[in-house]
Amino acid sequence: MFDVHVHTAPCVVPRLADDVRTVDWYEAAGFDGCVLKSHCESTVGRAATAGVGRRMAVYGGLVLNATVGGLNPIAVAAGLSMGARVVWLPTVDARRHRESALTHPPSCASALGEGPSFAAPPVDTSTAATLRTIFGLVAEADAVLATGHIGAAEAAWVTAEATRAGVSRLLLTHPSFTVPAMSAAETRSLCDQGAVAEITAYQLLHQDGCDAGALAAFIRAVGYERCLLSSDAGQPDSPPAPDALLHLVEVLAAQGLDRGALHAMASDIPKALVMP
């Protein structure tokens, strides 16, 4: 299996385990790889260190929150040149996230106030040129562009513009989560343009009003081949990430989803999306 979304320590909020221990868990569970994610900093160097001597792949990436300068092409170029495999658009500093009822991890900027928030067109048309520059960088590196916590209309603009810029690896970050709260029809429309939709164990464990039946129905509506499964684990009250992802597979199988398709969603599809 291959987990495209796990949170590790150090972080500005408590995490279950650090990079090395988390990768130990994946290796013991027989995983082929993972992507370390932080809302506050690049994980490229951390992944390189945690991956030394491993039989599995350990990748890092960059989330474009305020702590890295937001929609910052310079940070993107640097991260990609160092080996980042995923560039996420803003998460906790996305305007859509700020407008939601979710609490969110404090960024380093919180000591000086809440800090800026960021949006894509059509919410904020002033960011279009900068985003197109970022899309070009991601396309040139053949890396993954993930939508983060932007809204549905923004994700539609990003999908169209990123595809036009040559991005061929596009991930809709947990579209059925509280943010961005996309419908299955909205999600399928973007997947028809080449995006892949993420379904997470975190949703099953922590999302209000979400259960295995709802996730299974969403997958059926979007299509097996258009979805991948990840853990989005790392919280102190979540199981270790590999256990969380394996549990997600089991509960979805209990809902009648094809086990072979679920294995592909947790292994083949994420590997094809992320690995060079």
Cα–Cα distance measured from residue 146 to residue 169, given in angstroms and rounded to the nearest whole number = 9
Q: Which distant-in-sequence residues (6+ apart) come within 8 Å of 131 by Cβ?
A: 71, 120, 121, 158, 161
Q: What is the residue-wise DSSP string for 176-241?
A: TSTTT---HHHHHHHHTTT-EEEEEHHHHHH-TT--HHHHHHHHHHH-GGGEEEE--B--TTS--H
Q: What domains, with CATH codes, occur in the chain?
A: 2-274 (3.20.20.140)
% of the chain beyond a pLDDT of 70: 95
Looking at residue 105, what is its pLDDT? 54
Q: Is 214 buried (19+), middle (13-18) or exposed (0-12) by CB count in 10 A?
A: middle
Whose CA is closest to 174, among 232, 118, 235? Answer: 232
- Evaluate whether 87 touches 76 at the Cβ level (below 8 Å): yes
What SS3 class is residue 34?
strand
What is the value of pTM for the model shown?
0.96
What is the band of 110 on the pLDDT scale with cuts at 50, 70, 90?
A: low
pLDDT average, residue stretch 155-163? 99
Residue 127 predicted with pLDDT over 80: yes
Give residue 103's pLDDT band: very low, low, confident or very high (50, 70, 90).
low
pLDDT tens, 70-84?
999 999 999 999 999
pLDDT digits 0-9 by tens, 2-41: 999 999 999 988 999 999 999 999 999 999 999 999 999 9
